[in-house]
Amino acid sequence: MKRLTALNLLLVVLIAAGGWRLYTRAQERAEAERRFLARTIDAAPAPLVALPEKAEPARPAEYFEIAAQLPFHPERNPEVIVEAPAPKPRPALPRYYGVMNFGGPPRVVLAAAAGQQQKSYQVGDRVGDFTLQAIASEGLTFDWEGETVTTPYHAIRDNTPPPAPAGNSKPAAEKSQPKPAAAKTVSADAAKGPGLDLGGNFKGCVEGDSTPSGTVVGGYRKLVTETPFGKSCRWEKVE
């Protein structure tokens, strides 16, 4: 029994000594940590760094010799020549055949080119590659791709002679018979006759037609009136 009691006391002493040792170690560690955190360290001075000198900007003139001596092409030339595109040639102006004025806006008889179909146009209409801008007493004004072109009538008048009329099947005796003067009607052979159909029972006059006003040909009567642009000639269908 005495031995058991002594063994228990020894165990208690050992436990107490171990606990005290752990406590003292914890205190020492806490103190060492406090001293470490409270310590101040003087920073070392920053090292001196020598900055490089500022580089000069590149000058293109210094590379002309290198560009001119490219070894892959013996004809290398630093001077680039840019050729401007050749201007587009302006086409021929429309051909003129006459002007009309029936009390409204004037109209002109034109063809996009000689030998093509004739039509009456007013300001704003498209004639081939041109746009009719103005009709004046001295000439016409066209627009071609933003360019204004003014031309007198005589410069664009179509002086091509009209085609010869088809062969006449009437006998020579009938040709020689004179027509009554009061009727003011002549045969198609003796007069130029109506030209381009203008619509509304009207036809235009043929260039060089010298028949008098009032002449009736092919069911149409010739009418010649004075306008600010000169004489206006047309053929009106006889009702």
Q: Where are the beta strands (DSSP E) in the chain?
A: 95-100, 107-111, 119-121, 126-127, 130-135, 139-144, 147-152, 194-199, 202-205, 216-217, 220-227, 230-237
Is 214 part of any domain? yes
**What's the predicted TM-score (pTM) here?**
0.39
Is 137 part of any domain? yes
Single residue among 105, 123, 156 that ends a domain in this structure: 156
Closest CA to 98 of 238, 225, 207: 207
Is 222 part of any domain? yes
- Specify whether 101 is located in the same domain as 152: yes
What Rg do the C-alpha atoms of the chain give, in angstroms? 56
Here the CATH number for the domain that contains residue 112 is 2.30.30
Give 108's contacts (C-beta < 8 A, 6+ positions apart).
96, 97, 98, 99, 100, 120, 121, 122, 132, 135, 140
Structure tokens at 186: 């002549």
- Specify whether 152 is located in the same domain as 185: no
| DSSP classification of residue 165 | P
Is 62 part of any domain? no
Structure tokens at 144: 């071609």
In the block, tokens 């002007």 appear at: 99
Length of the chain: 239
Closest CA to 194 of 222, 165, 168: 222
Q: Which domain holds residue 222?
A: 180-237
Single residue among 156, 188, 206 that ends a domain in this structure: 156
Render pLDDT for 128-185 as a digit per residue (tens, 0 to 9): 999 999 998 889 999 999 899 999 998 998 877 655 555 544 544 444 454 444 434 4
Structure tokens at 151: 């031309």
Give 122's contacts (C-beta < 8 A, 6+ positions apart).
105, 106, 107, 108, 132, 135
123: burial class by Cβ within 10 Å (0-12, 13-18, 19+)? middle
- Specify whether 143 is located in the same domain as 191: no
Is 58 part of any domain? no
Is 219 part of any domain? yes
Is 174 part of any domain? no
Render pLDDT for 9-36 as a digit per residue (tens, 0 to 9): 888 889 999 899 999 999 999 999 998 8
- Specify whether 144 is located in the same domain as 190: no
Among positive and negative, which fits the CA dihedral 162, 116, 152, 136? positive
Number of structural domains the chain divides into: 2
Is 100 part of any domain? yes
Task: Kindly give the residue spans of alpha helices, DSSP state H, lying in 172-234.
Answer: 172-176
Identify the pLDDT of residue 236: 83
- Specify whether 101 is located in the same domain as 149: yes
Render pLDDT for 49-105 as a digit per residue (tens, 0 to 9): 888 888 888 887 777 676 666 666 555 655 667 788 888 898 999 999 888 877 678
- Specify whether 103 is located in the same domain as 142: yes
- In the chain, the largest separation of any two C-alpha atoms, in whole Å, equals 185
